[in-house]
A and B are shown apart, each in its own frame.
Chain A
Amino acid sequence: MSSHSLLETQKLEVFINNKTVCKGLDIKINYGERWGIIGVNGIGKTTLLHTLAGLREPKDGNIFLQNENLAHIPRRKIAKTIGVLFQNDTQAFPGTVLETALIGRHPFLRSWQWETREDIKLAQQALELVDLNSMDSRMINTLSGGENRRLSLATLITQGPLLYLLDEPTNHLDMHHQINILDMLVKQTNVKKQSTIMILHDVNLAQRFCDHVMLLFGDGEILTGPTKEVLTTDSLSRLFNHPTIKIDSPNGPVFLPA
């Protein structure tokens, strides 16, 4: 076990609904790395992400967060290091935009404590990063799908974890905001060398923003490694069961269905 990795899995086996998502998975995520998870619908990407977040137990194997077994760390302590962006956020009783962003401070506050001026400042800065400034007192049920998505990201940034686990962060976002948000996340996570693992549906976003990728083929087979080595027309054709071609653009290679 290297002493420098942020998250490490040993012989991880994840299993859901009679399906093996991964088996014998050994990965090491170092500080500052950005990993993409790619695979077809229903292959178990979200299940894998939740397992890495400690939200469900693996069938076998171990996960280590900063060299400590994730299964033995209290939830509240995990929440100070790992933050999760879920695919959907629903709120039974909607609050305001600022209240929602402030929820990110929860793991850092004691039980009777109220958010301080400092916490509010953090939340407002995060809202500005996702382009939601001057919306503090809007009720969140009046936001659009894309605005809600950005608010969830702002909540996550307010939480300020070392490891960002993102389930389709660009869901509901227009092209401009897709690139903007991911650019912003890159900038944001470069500050303290935070790491990111994100499920992406767009191979080309992974190509552009991730230095490592995991391809989920099903039946427990996973291909992992540096993006340049793993993302090829061969691997992608096999992954999506559809022939793929590669075109060079000024921003690097672009993959398209043939």
Chain B
Amino acid sequence: MKYPSAFITGLLVLTPLSFLYALSTGSVDIGWNEIWQVIIGKEHGLNHDLIVDLRLPRATSAFLTGAMLAMAGALMQVLLRNPLADPYILGVSGGAAVAALSAMIAGLGGLWVTGSAFIGALFSTFLVFGLAHRQGSWTSTRLLLTGVIVAAGWGALISFILSVAPEANLRGMLFWLMGDLSHTDSSLLPLIILIVCFFICMPFARDLNILARGELQASALGVSVFSLRLNVYFIASILTASAVTLAGSIGFIGLIVPHIVRLITGSDNRTLLPASILMGGCFLTIADTLARTIISPQQLPVGVITAMLGVPFFLFLLQKNKQYS
């Protein structure tokens, strides 16, 4: 199975379809024709408000979050040369969570929580980098171990905060931790971040293929390994930080989407990165729509749906493919 251009074309078709699905489905089902009326500006009633004020921002956030997580996951897997890497492996989401939960305990809300999450994520990024980079040696193993240990530290702090948090705050905190797309702020900044990161990475995509062979090997083929790894590390961290800020920590997407794409199109990062972005976006948009409708009016954490859809699909592909044998 190696048809990268056909696969990417398919995803480009799926993208508007996933949005249509997200816009049309919910407490009130809206037909595609009515959505069209809203788009061309002929409809200003309830449907307009429902779509423009509620469903479209949420679908956009879902798409962007999925896209950023999938891209960050693909980058982390190459950076650490480890197929088990996901965007959260180096503790970015843990740092964000500790900061966000602390803000919630302090009784702050809205932008304070969001801002704290972003700052916590960046703090964790620099902390891991500083610790892993101390003596100039910056091997994948050292980075990985440092990140995993720092993440474990954040995990302990999260448990601590949850155990001392007042009862009234707990539900909000748990939902934040499981990933929650219902409080969407503006998606403009994340959109810009995603586009900028994508265009910074794409010229390096072939260098990334070579980096996956090892640092010395890449160096011998003319790759400036140090600056490439530095760039990849910070880009992946910024993407993860933005995603976590937008939606809390939604598991699974960043780990599994790059692998699904690899199984279908191969490991060339020139096709892997754009395909992961599109697939991550569509996947989370669809999963989030299911999460808010499947047992409505109750909403499920979207991570439940991503795992319930993703696990069987990934296992099926893995069975059929020899790449990881």
Contacts and interface: CB of A to CB of B under 8 A. Distances in A.
A159 B204 CA distance: 19
A76 B212 contact: no
B323 A139 contact: yes
Given A75-B224, A93-B262, A95-B268, A141 B216 contact: no
Contact of B325 (A55, A83, A109, A141): A141
A95 B325 contact: no
Contacts of B219: 55, 75
Interface stretch (B18-26, B78-86, B150-158, B187-195): B78-86
A92 B221 contact: no
A137 B262 CA distance: 15
B310 interface: no
A3 interface: no
A93 B220 contact: no
Contacts of A55: 216, 219-220
Interface in A116-170: 137, 139, 141-142, 159
Contact of B212 (A78, A82, A91): A91
A104 B268 CA distance: 15
Given A95-B267, A99-B268, A106-B221, A90 B214 contact: yes
Q: Size class of A's contact patch? A: 35 or more
Interface in A12-62: 50, 53, 55
Contacts of A80: 222
B213 interface: yes
Contacts of B77: 92-93
Contacts of A53: 220
B267 A93 contact: yes
Given A93-B267, A107-B222, A50 B216 contact: yes
B213 A90 contact: yes
A213 interface: no
A142 B322 contact: yes
Given A91-B212, A91-B213, A142-B322, A96 B220 contact: no
A147 to B, nearest CB: 16
Contacts of B224: 75-76
A83 B210 contact: no
A11 B325 CA distance: 49
A142 B43 CA distance: 59
A180 B222 CA distance: 29
B220 A83 contact: yes
Given A92-B82, A92-B83, A112-B203, A103 B210 contact: yes
Nearest to A165: B220
Contacts of B2: 96, 137
A84 B323 CA distance: 27
B217 interface: yes
A86 B222 contact: no
A159 B221 contact: yes
A95 B204 CA distance: 18
15 contacts: A50-B216, A75-B223, A76-B222, A78-B222, A84-B220, A90-B213, A91-B212, A92-B77, A92-B78, A92-B82, A95-B209, A111-B206, A137-B2, A141-B323, A142-B325
